[in-house]
Amino acid sequence: MFIDIRTSLFAIYLFLAGDSSALSNWSYADNPSIAILIVLFSLLIVVYLMNLLIGLLNIAIEEDNNRVSYLIQKAEILAEIELFYLLPHQRRWQAWFPEVIHYYADTDKTRIEIERLIKEGECDTKEFSEMQESLLKQLQIKHNLNDNRVILEKVKSNDEKLNKLEKLEEKLEKLDKLEKLEEKLEKLDKLEKLEEKLEKLDKLETLEKSYCEKSEKSDKLEILGKLETLEKSHCEILVKLEKLLERNDAK
């Protein structure tokens, strides 16, 4: 049976059922390792894992099999029936849907629950205050509901103060942001002024360059005029010298 994977899986299933005929071809005396493997298989798989699965199933059943889950499931089923499976005239039957429902509650359990609610501050004193006072008297619980009201009023006043403080903090944050924006605007104004000054300096530099160029041109023109006058004077001198030489030659 162990030649093929399918027959080997079937042999393991037979082992779980208690049938060890798949190993009948081998003798246990000649092959002690087979006997050891059978013992380990029975201990690990059959005993340990099966009991572990049974224990996990019991834990899951105990978690789901409590009264709270039963009541929640019952309420869900009843709500579904009332919404989808009843006719309109059935919904108006007072025998099924009375205006007042009376139920039994254990005094010890209710006393413990009310004391717990009072300690945790979950006892609401806004609604049904007279009913709460009568219930506390019947259960012989000493508790002043007005104290809770005063505490609630103080808590409300503190909440209002906290809201005001939060609003003030928001306003302060906005003021800080405005101050930062004003500082940035001042810096921008300074930068704009500096840019204007730089532009003026650039214009002055261009004017200086143009003035220098003009002055150089005027100097060159003056020098050229002087050179022309010198040339004219030289020409006159040369003419006079030529005339003097001619006179000397004539004599």
Give the chain's domain count. Answer: 1
The whole-angstrom separation of Cα 84 and Cα 79 is 9
Confirm whether pTM is higher than 0.75.
Answer: no
Q: Kindly state whether residue 176 falls inside one of the protein's structural domains.
A: no
The whole-angstrom separation of Cα 188 and Cα 190 is 5
Per-residue b/e over 23-51, b at no fewer than 16 CB within 10 Å?
A: beeeeeeeeeeeeeeeeeeeeeeeeeeee
What residues make up the domain containing 5? 1-103
Q: Kindly state whether residue 144 falls inside one of the protein's structural domains.
A: no
Based on the number of CB atoms within 10 Å of its own CB, is 65 exposed (0-12), middle (13-18) or buried (19 or more)?
exposed
Of the given ranges (29-43, 48-62, 140-154), which has the lowest mean pLDDT? 140-154
Q: Kindly state whether residue 58 falls inside one of the protein's structural domains.
A: yes
Q: Tell me the pLDDT tens digit for each residue of 84-130.
A: 888 888 888 888 888 887 777 788 888 888 888 777 766 665 666 77
Q: Is 60 exceeded by the pLDDT of residue 147?
A: no
Q: Kindly state whether residue 165 falls inside one of the protein's structural domains.
A: no
Q: Kindly state whether residue 181 falls inside one of the protein's structural domains.
A: no
Token pair 């099999």: residue? 65
DSSP reduced 3-state for 155: helix
Q: Kindly state whether residue 78 falls inside one of the protein's structural domains.
A: yes
